[in-house]
Structure 1
Amino acid sequence: MPFARLTAATTPTCHLGLGLAAVGRPGYINLGRERDLPAERSVEALRTRTHDLLDAAYAQGVRYVDAARSYGRSEEFLAEWLRTRPEAADMVIGSKWGYTYTADWSTDAERHEIKDHSVAAYARQRAETDALLGDRLDLYQIHSVTPDSPALTDKELHARLAEAAAGGVTVGFSTSGPDQADAIRAALAVTVDGEPLFRTVQSTYNVLETSAGPALAEAHDAGLTVIVKEGMANGRLAEPDAPEALKTVAEETTMGCDAVALAAILRQPWAGVVLSGAATTTQLASNLHATAVDLDDHQLAQLADLAEDPRAYWQRRGQLPWH
């Protein structure tokens, strides 16, 4: 791993991180938000919820937190928490640029975020991130790279990112969509002065969407740290919506469906950090049980049978409403 603090961490939960997509803004596509969040999703309510989650995560050994410019006020909430928790100096902080949050704290905005991978967007959002997180930023990722993203070919952008890397910030990228594998392989080929530009990759991978697996293994073999997002498939793998096969395995292990779903990802030899997208401290505690789940070959085969065609998976994801 490029982060010495994660490499040195000894708790099993250091391999689980906390993503702030679900609590940095009032609207998101995760299922069950009407149960998970207060009816009044004010800035103060979600600030408190975020801080409570960060407290719980840190106390239970989590040492990676993932934010983004488009996650509403996630960077702001995280920065406030870091300023009042000097003991959390060993927490690794990642954020992402490339989407601008446009919902203005609304759940029914016409557009919640706008994608822009230009040099100008990077410069603007890097300044915004620096104003909040400053030297606590460890990892800065391009948000949702696809095979046609200009971020893969823009030499000026590559030079700016290499400059950031020379200044001590790890540079990475995330992927989304049915062609994640192609995007990962294209990003692995990006170099500056003959050296690979990216040190981390963050991709969607879960028991329903496994198509990026081989490319993530290649990234791992190339020396990148792999971060897995959407391990719960935006709530589709949590009770009460979980597939019957997952419920069966969960019953056999006496663990929750969420813990089993995340444990299946942790079993992948290339998985460096698996993100929890918990919106409550109870969900987070249950997610962290993933490190204690012992899946046998038969159970793993049952879970493998749940994999969907990636285009069907992403089409369904694209139809999820913002709650």
Structure 2
Amino acid sequence: MEYRRLGSTGLTVSPLCLGTWRFGKESNGTLETDRETAHDLLDAAWEQGINFVDTANSYGGGRSERWIGEWLADHDREDFVIASKVWWRTRGVPKTSLSRKSIRSEIQDTLERLGTDYLDVYYIHRFDDGTPLRETLRTLDDLAREGTVRYLGASAGAAWKLTKALWESDREDLERFEITQPRFNAAYRDEVADYLDVCADQGLAVCPYSPLEGGFLTGKYDRYGEAPAGSRGDLEGWNDRFDERQWRVLEVVRSVATETGATPAQVALRWCMARDRFTCVPIVGARTVDQLEENAGAVDLSVTDDQLDRITDAYADVEGAR
């Protein structure tokens, strides 16, 4: 696997990141991904050359971090880039916070569950309007200077909040956000366009979650048929969730998949990885080893600029406009 530099950082990561938000997550009393399956997925990811693992203190109520830590104990920690997040609180009140007290408490628990003394990337899961931005940034800067955290990141949020945080960090000579994690994919762009403009201008890496738009870009949805059982669209009026532009994107993704002998999921992931305005490392959250291996096939998929442009153009509101 050909690794890449993560934005302006010194980190070298695989072109795909393993997302673990399903680890330990309960839906209707059933674990979406149990401990054994989680370890199988981590094994498969490492066998495919994926060295970048994303988690959060809130995933599975802490079970995601704990299961990763158990698996990591049998491997060389230095081989991996481990990212986690803070905003949700696993204990105490309020339920969400980026105060100094909360961040200090949560990072201690995160490191304990992961069985490591540092994180490669530490994201804020959201911005916290209830805590002064300066307090949050100074606390994160302290963690970076202490070596507890190598690099800082910001997940979802408004473009102006990200810009303000970068400005404040530069003005106060604090460690700044270097990696972002917005929702972004070939069928979801306008809503995050301003945010991505900031990332491109400031040299921030983009590690999008939901790069397959919740399974939509896998091609499993039929515009005029029924939603697949157990899918996120498995409800009345499911096809109203997707607009005309998204269906056009899916049609072109399917066409390119046929032309290249790939799957729609591989084509959609390859489109993300091919972004040239910023480093883009999609986060894939496979349910099974087979799904993960399919996703990993996107890394070596060969697509032409024309094929990528066709996918880009399909999202345009006006013919010919991007």
1:79 CA drift (Å): 0.4
For 1:225, the equivalent position in structure 2 comes to 205
Give the CA deviation at 1:223. Answer: 3.9
- Hey, what's the Cα distance between the residues in 1 that align with 2:253 and 2:95? 35
1:245 Cα shift? 2.6
Shift of 1:251: 1.3
Q: Distance in 1 between matches of 2:268 and 2:279?
A: 14
Q: Structure 1 residues 308, 196: CA separation in 2 closer, same or farther (over 3 Å shift)? A: farther
Select which of 196, 214, 217 maps to 1:237.
Answer: 217
Distance 1:203 1:238 in 2: 20
CA shift in 2, pair 1:272/1:248, >3 Å: closer
Q: Partner residue of 1:67? A: 55
- Name the SS of the counterpart of 1:199 in structure 2: strand
**Pairing 1:160–2:145 present:** no
Aligned counterpart for 2:104 among listed residues 123, 133, 140? 123
Paired residue for 1:198, among 177, 188, 193? 177
Structure 2 counterparts to residues 145-184 of structure 1, below 5 A: 145=127, 149-150=129-130, 153-168=132-147, 169-176=149-156, 179=158, 181-184=159-162
Q: Deviations over 1:88-116 (max 9, x none)?
A: 531110100112469xxxxxxxxxx9543
Distance 1:67 1:299 in 2: 33
Q: SS at the partner of 1:65?
A: strand
Cα displacement string for residues 258-277 of structure 1 (whole angstroms, at most 9, x for unaligned residues): 11111001111212422111
Cα drift, residue 171 of structure 1? 4.1
> Which runs of structure 2 are paired with 1:83-102 in the superposition (5 Å)?
83-86=73-76, 89-100=78-89
Query: Which of 241-250 and 286-295 deviates more?
Result: 241-250
> 1:79 is matched with which residue?
69
Sequence identity (%): 30
- Distance in 1 (alpha carbons) for counterparts of 2:15 and 2:306: 24
RCO greater where, 1 or 2, for CA within 8 Å and sep 6 or more?
Answer: 1
Could you say what secondary structure the match of 2:282 adopts? Answer: strand
Question: What are the equivalent positions in structure 2 for 1:242-281 lying under 5 Å apart?
Answer: 243-269=250-276, 270-281=278-289
Inter-partner Cα distance in structure 2 for 1:62 and 1:218: 27
Q: Secondary structure of the residue that 1:203 maps to in structure 2?
A: coil
- If you compute each CA radius of gyration, which structure gives the higher value, 1 or 2? 2
Aligned residues: 275
In 2, Cα distance between the equivalents of 1:161 and 1:266? 29
| The 10-residue stretch of structure 1 (75-84 or 120-129) with the greater mean CA deviation from structure 2 | 120-129
Distance, in Å, in 1 between the alignment partners of 2:199 and 2:136 is: 21
Q: Against the structure 1 CA distance between its residues 120 and 225, is the aligned structure 2 distance closer, same or farther, given a 3 Å change threshold? A: same
Change in 2 beyond 3 A, CA 1:223/1:119: same
Q: Which moved more, 1:48-57 or 1:135-144?
A: 135-144
Q: Which runs of 5+ in 2 are unaligned?
A: 1-5, 223-249, 318-322
CA distance in structure 2 between the partners assigned to 1:69 and 1:246 by the alignment: 34
After TM superposition, give the deviation of residue 217 of structure 1 in Å: 5.1
Cα drift, residue 235 of structure 1: 1.5
Which runs of 5 or more structure 1 residues have no equivalent in the other structure?
A: 29-38, 103-112, 310-323
- TM-superposed CA distance for 1:56, in Å, is 0.7
- Aligned pairs for 1:37-56 within 5 A: 41=31, 46-56=34-44
Quick one: which amino acid aligns to residue 229 of structure 1? Y
Could you say which residue in structure 2 is the equivalent of 1:286? 294
Instruction: Give the TM-score normalised by the residue count of structure 2.
Output: 0.75
Superposition RMSD on alpha carbons, in Å? Answer: 2.9
AA at the equivalent of 1:66: D
Please report how far the alpha carbon of residue 164 of structure 1 lies from its aligned counterpart in structure 2 after TM superposition. 0.3
Once the two structures are TM-superposed, the CA of residue 198 in structure 1 deviates from its matched residue by 1.7
Assess if the C-alpha contact under 8 Å between 1:228 and 1:271 holds in 2. no
Indicate the residue corresponding to 1:321 in structure 2.
none
Report if aligned partners of 1:23, 1:279 keep a CA contact under 8 Å in 2: no
Residue equivalent to 1:32 = none
State whether residues 65 and 113 of structure 2, in contact with CA within 8 Å, keep that contact through their aligned partners in structure 1: yes
* Contact 1:170-1:199 within 8 A present in 2 as well: no
Distance 1:218 1:207, change over 3 A: same
Task: Tell me how far 1:3 sits from its aligned partner.
Answer: 5.8
